Chain A
Amino acid sequence: MPAIEASGLTKIFGRRPKRGVRMLREGAEVADLRREGLTPAVIEATFDVAPGEIFVVMGLSGSGKSTLIRMVNGLLEPTDGTIKLDGQDITHLSKAGLRELRRSKVSMVFQHFALLPHRTVGENAAYALQLQGVSRDERERRAEEALAMVGLKGWGGSMPSELSGGMRQRVGLARALASGTEVMLMDEAFSALDPLIRKEMQDQLLELQAELDKTILFITHDLNEAMRLGDRIAMMRDGRIVQVGTAEEILNEPANNYVAQFVEGVDRSRVLSAGTVMEPPVAVVGRDAGPQAAHKLMREHQTSSLLVVTRERRVEGLVWEDDVAEAVRQGADRLPVSAEGVPRVTPDTPLAALFHHAAATRAPIAVVGENDRLEGVIPRVTLLSALSAPTGKDRPDGTDGTGGAGERPDATAAGETPLDPAGAR
């Protein structure tokens, strides 16, 4: 059962928003609704988040991502569609029911931290527990634990104003952790921090996540952050989710031009892994084969080297064309395996980590899985071509009809319409 399940989630701001839903069903465009004085912030968003997953919603300002996250914990009531947490439909919960849900199931981390300036760090971390009516001793203990988890052990007595931005957000994180909920919503949680601190916080979040295995819905406008953190990413534009997929899927198979242009600037070497760019290991030769057979294989595959593998497909080494030709001429019956080692990497190694191997040897890089089994190879040419984006071939636009061909993604970046709930209220 998914931890979060949204189907057809729609939020329209304005008077009598239900009529906007009807108009959209009848095929009206966003601009038509605008003329009616309605602001569609989120339109028919459907996605699942698995337990223990970091699901990133990525979009520019005005794309509706803040509205979306606020529907997940009921801060905003959806105009249409349903949202389920742990299978429980929360769309029509009463106020008291929503409060109970927020206390027991979903916590939230805010962009500008939203700490209480008149309370100590420890009291802030314990805030959720205090609202729940947990006894003082118990909540102090759990707040102290949460602060230790985020690296703020011993800071409980300080005031938030004495802390740097990064530390304040750690307190925000500790407050959410202390509440002990399974689901955590993070609304642009690291966007207000400067780049170095942001990276540090991302690392810390990933570390914590490896340990705690929470379900995290993370909102960001920073694509690199999305790619670093997200197990899966939902790309949002003008209130619609235009693509959901892993970082690699979004990079390599963008659903439309908008996404393609968006991911153009991404440092692919840090997102793509060896497993996604490797080629099937066809240019291999068995350890016991003779030079003649190797020579024939090389001619067939038009290659200057072959990987030598055992029967269990474990990489033994490499033979070069020149050596094989020499061996054939001398009538040798054993393969002239090169003394040069073959670099071995696992499928999830990022491309960035492959370059020094490629620079050190002419040999292709072997990608090995469990038990050192050969799964694929990355010749140097493949490594270089993987870095160029899959452009050139013009992809058909998505079926949602939002993006016109050739439209620049930054046309919406200016955020000329206040789709963020703060602006719309």
Chain B
Amino acid sequence: MTPLTTPMPPGLPRIPIGEVVADGITWVKQNLEALLDGLTAMLSFLVELFTDLLLAPPMLLGIALFTLLALLVRSWGFAVFALVGTLLIASMELWEPAMQTLGLVLVATLAAIVVAIPIGILAARSDTVSTIVKPVLDFMQTMPAFVYLVPVVIFFSIGVVPGVFATVVFALPPGVRLTELGIRQVDKETVEAGEAFGGTPGQILRGIQLPLGLPTIMAGVNQVIMLALSMAVIAGLVGAGGLGQLVVTSISRIDVALGFEAGLAVVILAIYLDRITGAIGQPTGRSLGAVLRRRRAETASRQPAAATAGSTTT
């Protein structure tokens, strides 16, 4: 068997980057145990909470709720897709692992957003922060995902928490990048108007930059969710459970049928989450919510007209 690494040319010192990082990881593990334990407790509590919530209603009621949500925020067509997709997951007997994966994705996404959006805001405000953050994000995005799993397992041992943690690290970058972009591309003159009328930075952020940057920021959230879902499957390797675990099992058993079914369930979840968050960022106007609002507005504008018409005839 050929060696995996090439010998260095003579005279060049061996720089022990790998060892330094490994030592650093060990140091963190030994000295920040309280922090790691706290994180573990919090993350596993959240994942359990979300998974329990998702699994609390009976399967058919759960399917109905997914369909209703699709109808409320997007459209009839998408509601039909949601119904067929979730029924398919149920009929493949993958409902429980799918909900576990969804729970993990939701927690990881929330954590990623909570970290990413403030960093994105800071990067949009300060060129220095932006210059520092960019290479870090590049590193996080291009470092092979499996590499995260090793130190994460050292920190949190096997289970769902290292899965969540690795997923957060992997899914974070587009959240930061698109938040920064969203805020920076808000029309300069509009921001200037906020300043010219004496707005504080906070007022300008809340009243102008965030609302006008929202479509781009939501595109970032959408990307975070998609990456989280793809990572949640890889996290099956460290025992995160759910569909990822089934995929890993199918590889080790060379079970094509199980692997394909679990993969299909991931795809259905991915499409569902993508369309839902996409609709929140850019409303389609065909959702049940939008239709109801329009109808209310129409009746409201007709009523005063009818009232005046009535008063003139009497």
In contact, B197 and A127 (Cβ under 8 angstroms)? yes
B208 at the interface (CB under 8 A from A): yes
Nearest A residue (CB) for B194: A131
Q: CA A112 – CA B190 in complex, angstroms?
A: 9
A99 to B202 Cα, complex, angstroms: 13
Whether A114 pairs with B198 at a CB distance below 8 angstroms is no
**Interface status of A313 (Cβ within 8 A of chain B):** no
Q: State A100–B197 Cα separation when bound (angstroms).
A: 9
Q: Which residues of A contact B195 (CB under 8 A)?
A: 75, 102
Say if the beta carbon of B212 comes within 8 Å of chain A. Answer: yes
Q: Is A102 in contact with B196, judged by CB distance below 8 angstroms?
A: yes
Contact A179 B212 (CB under 8 A): no
- Give min CB distance, B191 to chain A, whole Å: 8
Interface-centre pick from B192, B196, B212 (highest chain A CB count, 10 A): B196
Report A-chain residues with C-beta under 8 Å of the C-beta of B129. none
C-alpha spacing A130/B203, complex, angstroms: 10
> Among the listed stretches A103-111, A213-221, A277-285, A332-340, which one makes contact with chain B, having 4 or more residues with CB under 8 Å of it?
A103-111
Q: How far is the CB of A179 from chain B (nearest CB, A)?
A: 6
Tell me whether A422 is interfacial, beta carbon within 8 Å.
yes
Is the CB–CB distance between A73 and B207 below 8 Å?
Answer: no
Asked whether A35 is an interface residue with its Cβ less than 8 Å from the other chain, the reply is no
Chain B residues, Cβ within 8 Å of A116: 190, 207-208, 211-212
Size of interface on A: residues with Cβ below 8 Å to B:
29
A:359-392 near B, CB below 8 Å: none
Residue of B nearest to A129 (CB): B197
Q: Complex Cα distance A99/B201, Å? A: 10
- List B contacts of A118 (CB < 8 A): 211-212
- Assess whether B188 is interfacial by the CB under 8 Å rule: yes
Contact B190 A114 (CB under 8 A): yes
| Cα distance A73–B195 in the bound complex, in angstroms | 10
In which size bucket is the chain B interface? Answer: 10 to 19
Contacts of A107 in B (CB 8 A): 196-197
Secondary structure of the B side of the interface? helix
CB distance from A157 to the nearest CB of B (A): 10
Known: A117-B212, A118-B212. A422 touches B188 (CB 8 A): yes
Q: Which residues of A contact B193 (CB under 8 A)?
A: 108, 110, 114, 127
B199 contacts the other chain (CB 8 A): yes
Q: Which residue of B lies closest to A108 (CB)?
A: B196
CB-nearest residue of chain A relative to B187? Answer: A114
Residues of B close to A422: CB separation below 8 A: 188
1/0 contact string of A165-189 vs chain B (CB within 8 Å): 0000000000100010000010000
Please report which residues of chain B, range 177-226, place their CB below 8 angstroms from some CB of chain A when the two chains form the complex.
187-190, 192-200, 203, 207-208, 211-212
Q: Are A131 and B197 in contact (CB under 8 A)?
A: yes
User: Of A112, A128, A175, A185, which one neighbours B198 at CB under 8 angstroms?
Assistant: A128
Query: Complex formed: what's the CA distance from A422 to B207 in Å?
Result: 22
Separation of A131 and B207 alpha carbons in the complex (Å): 10
Contacts of A175 in B (CB 8 A): 197
CB within 8 Å of A: which of B102-159?
A: none
User: A310 near B: Cβ within 8 Å?
Assistant: no
CA distance A104 to B197 in the complex (A): 9
- Residues 410-422 of A, flagged 1 when their CB comes within 8 A of B and 0 if not, give 0000000000001
Q: Report if A132 contacts B (CB, 8 A).
A: yes
Give A99's nearest chain B residue, CB to CB: B198
Which of A102, A106, A112, A117 contacts B189 (CB under 8 A)?
A: A112
Q: Which residue in chain A gives the minimum CB-CB distance to B204?
A: A131
B197 closest partner in A (C-beta):
A128
Q: Which residues in window 65-121 of A have CB below 8 A to B?
A: 73, 75, 98-104, 106-108, 110-112, 114-118
CB distance from A66 to the nearest CB of B (A): 11
Would A131 and B199 count as touching, CB distance under 8 A? yes
Q: Please measure, in the bound complex, the distance between the C-alpha atom of A413 and the C-alpha atom of B144, giving whole angstroms.
A: 54
Which A residues are CB-close (under 8 A) to B196?
A: 73, 75, 102, 106-108, 110, 185
Q: A116-B207, A179-B197 are in contact. Are A110 and B212 (CB under 8 A)?
A: no
How far, in Å, is B127 (CB) from chain A's closest CB? 11
Counting chain B CB atoms within 10 Å of each CB, the highest count among A75, A101, A104, A116 belongs to A116
Q: Is the CB of A108 within 8 A of B197?
A: yes
When chains A and B are docked, how far (Å) is the Cα of A110 from the Cα of B192?
A: 9
Check B207–A100 contact: CB distance below 8 A.
no
Known: A117-B212, A118-B211, A118-B212. A102 touches B192 (CB 8 A): no
Given contacts A75-B196, A103-B198, A127-B193, 19 further A-B pairs with CB under 8 A are A75-B192, A103-B197, A106-B196, A107-B196, A108-B196, A108-B197, A110-B192, A110-B193, A112-B189, A114-B190, A116-B190, A116-B207, A116-B211, A118-B212, A127-B207, A128-B197, A131-B200, A131-B207, A179-B197
Instruction: In the A-B complex, list the 3 residue pairs whose CB atoms are closest, starting with the nearest.
Output: A103-B198, A102-B198, A114-B193
Question: What are 9 A-B interface contacts by the 8 Å CB criterion?
Answer: A100-B198, A102-B195, A112-B187, A114-B189, A116-B190, A116-B211, A117-B212, A131-B199, A131-B207
